[in-house]
Structure 1
């Protein structure tokens, strides 16, 4: 039977099978038959939350923080309240609310202001270094002057703000990549050499990989070593609790509370504690307060008089100084600690510790905290004589006032400098024998050098001298000590004993150029000695 033809198209067949499987649509959502968990009863709206019982000192501290007289311009109330909550929360978690001296603790608005000043100073210093290094200024002070005169805030923001640098970079790229369809100059060059380098580099990597596979695991780049290295880094990363500077700041509930911007208040009551270099922020339980440190100082003074154990004493003094530093304690007691440690270090010839104490004392004396500034100014002058530091000596002489120059110890140190500058060795050794306080210990550092200098001059002026003359002139205690000193210089052959009617006389023959050359050689070697310890 033939099919009808209509308009040249074939009519569809009566039965047609679809190309998909029909699925009935779900009309209702079938819920599980499991019972819902019982919800806890909501608290009554009339129920009031329990208030924390703060000590009276904390309440007074909060009241002072909200007083209008204590408000600081530029610090908003929201910032003050946030810092107040952080401070109280920190000491509450340490159970230290009752022990802290809240009457003298800085107010939260003061802490916020100090944080801003510190951040601004750091930003100015960073910008000044960039200006000084990048724009050819002679020093940081000149760069700071440029910052101040040209608007430091805008200038610093142009260096520190990532948005401005990104915007400047994008504008530069738009200038270098115009939209007219013209390729930039580096696009016009032939890139065949670069493609060749890439191909050559990939070829070298393939050769290295084949070589490692042929080594059979003996290569230093094998998989086992790489796995060990990966595990070490993962362990270090998981064990470290420090946040990298590039990580985003988060306020996790399980993280440690932020440290307040104030000094640490110690709670340790131990009198003796070994010194350890800090590698993390100090904890209150490892720091001793001032009243404990005062007892420690008395104990150390007593032990030093009885035992003279310098290693132990120096270690304890360094620990004591560290506790003072982390608590920001700067008063008359701090000055006495550094003075006593400096004297003990001088007695044992430890110039490194002496210089550290002297540096801190110079800053403490500038704050008029008491102590003995005249004594340690004289020590500074004698130390500059020892190191032949003429630049620092001139700066120190310019700082001295007429009242400083009439102090006995300072006048003695200035006389020592003057005697050496004039070559008056006779006066120098008289001053050496009459040095006040502990100036003699500093002069002991360069007395041998000056004795060689004096012997070199004496050998040029005298034919022979009595041994007793050298003993008295060079500040020796006995003739035997003088002979021993000459023997260390290789001049023992110059000593001659002669028997006369008055008895045995010991002379030192200095005739000729032999004696002068001996002493000149040792004098030049002594002046070449360089002090490598900490300078003031």
Structure 2
């Protein structure tokens, strides 16, 4: 009798294990089938078979973790690994606090990319999504990460068009400064033509248009005044990406107009933080610096060809465009 009971227990345990394993296998097969269906739908719409469009099949996440590392999706997302909107709101508050306290960009960038991914796979487009992309864009600008900034900016452009609330004027000004960085006159003119009279009165837009005008007219004095006195710090972070180029251009003009240029004058005129920073730039292009009675200067006639050649190299090389928007 006892042997029969033991056999029945073993049989039940085996059946339970088998049922659990069968359920796991069926769930995995269902995910694979769903991924193939999604991929096939995209191919039928003349898409790239190697790029899956998750907008076709939207999911609602169930993950409760506030922090989650970013992983590039190659198959259909599992709802158990995706955070729903109310959890994402808590995640954003956590990330804002951690950025303020720790300033760990690698961690913050990874977490924001994961947050953005969860928004994307659930097709969440609202004011909260705008806030997420704006915050990540500002952090990326502060750390000089144009790639991540542009990914955020491209999404913000679409969200603003859909009518969601955010800081559209601020990011329109950033976009204009970015186009100045990439020397993209077509996009600059298109953006300016789309500005409303009201937008043109805003200090952020006035500043960006002033930068554009100064560069177009070769007014380096005005340009560096705008660089040193922006209406907001983020404008400086974007201008940092093209300010050295404009300093070379200015020196090309100045060395043709002046017989001699003191280091102190160049430092003040071109918005350097210190004479040391100015000298570092001159040394980087092998510009000879002379000294007379403890006053350092460069000879305009002797050095003009150096800056002319450097400017030609810059314009010929072009700009490394990251995450074009």
* C-alpha separation in 1, matches of 2:101 and 2:62: 29
1:414–1:299 Cα change, 3 Å: same
1:385–1:532 Cα change, 3 Å: closer
* C-alpha separation in 2, matches of 1:309 and 1:422: 41
2:298 is matched with: 508
* C-alpha separation in 1, matches of 2:200 and 2:144: 27
2:244 is matched with: 448
Please state if 1:525 is matched with 2:313: yes
2:95 is matched with: 300
1:265–1:349 Cα change, 3 Å: same
1:73 is matched with: none
Deviation string 1:181-208 (CA, Å, 9 cap, x unpaired) is xxxxxxxxxxxxxxxxxxxxxxxxxxxx
1:472 is matched with: 268
Q: CA deviation at 1:307?
A: 2.2
Match 1:366 to one of 150, 161, 164: 161
Paired residues for 1:401-416 under 5 Å? 401-416=196-211
Where 1:490 maps in the other structure, the secondary structure is: coil
* C-alpha separation in 1, matches of 2:76 and 2:280: 54
Q: CA deviation at 1:465?
A: 2.3
Q: CA deviation at 1:348?
A: 1.6
Deviation string 1:317-372 (CA, Å, 9 cap, x unpaired) is 11101111122211111101000111111112221111111010001111221110
* C-alpha separation in 2, matches of 1:446 and 1:349: 12
Asked if the contact 2:181/2:242 (under 8 Å) is kept, the reply is yes
Asked if the contact 2:61/2:122 (under 8 Å) is kept, the reply is yes
Please state if 1:535 is matched with 2:324: yes
Where 2:216 maps in the other structure, the secondary structure is: helix
Deviation string 1:206-248 (CA, Å, 9 cap, x unpaired) is xxxxxxxxxxxxxxxxxxxxxxxxxxxxxxxxxx7547969xx
Give the TM-score normalised by the residue count of structure 1. Answer: 0.49
1:459 is matched with: 255
1:509–1:360 Cα change, 3 Å: same
* C-alpha separation in 1, matches of 2:190 and 2:242: 22
1:481 is matched with: 277
1:53 is matched with: none
Where 2:98 maps in the other structure, the secondary structure is: helix
1:347–1:323 Cα change, 3 Å: same
2:121 is matched with: 326
* C-alpha separation in 2, matches of 1:484 and 1:263: 54
Q: CA deviation at 1:282?
A: 2.0
1:285–1:489 Cα change, 3 Å: same
Give the TM-score normalised by the residue count of structure 2. Answer: 0.80
Asked if the contact 2:255/2:261 (under 8 Å) is kept, the reply is no
Q: RCO greater where, 1 or 2, for CA within 8 Å and sep 6 or more?
A: 2
Aligned length: 276
2:141 is matched with: 346
Q: What RMSD in Å do the two structures reach over aligned CA positions?
A: 2.0
Deviation string 1:1-56 (CA, Å, 9 cap, x unpaired) is xxxxxxxxxxxxxxxxxxxxxxxxxxxxxxxxxxxxxxxxxxxxxxxxxxxxxxxx
Larger of the two Rg values belongs to structure: 1
List structure 1 runs of 4+ shifted beyond 6 angstroms: none
* C-alpha separation in 2, matches of 1:529 and 1:495: 32
* C-alpha separation in 2, matches of 1:364 and 1:529: 30
* C-alpha separation in 2, matches of 1:317 and 1:408: 29
1:288–1:458 Cα change, 3 Å: same
Structure (1/2) with the larger helix percentage:
2
Deviation string 1:394-448 (CA, Å, 9 cap, x unpaired) is 1111111101111110110000000111110000000000123301011000111
Please state if 1:394 is matched with 2:189: yes
Deviation string 1:468-526 (CA, Å, 9 cap, x unpaired) is 111110001122221222111101x2332x22xxxx4333222x3x3110011111222
* C-alpha separation in 1, matches of 2:40 and 2:139: 42
* C-alpha separation in 1, matches of 2:318 and 2:212: 19
Query: Where does the alignment leave 5 or more consecutive residues of structure 1 unmatched?
Result: 1-92, 94-239, 247-260
1:316 is matched with: 111
* C-alpha separation in 2, matches of 1:531 and 1:480: 28
* C-alpha separation in 2, matches of 1:372 and 1:361: 10
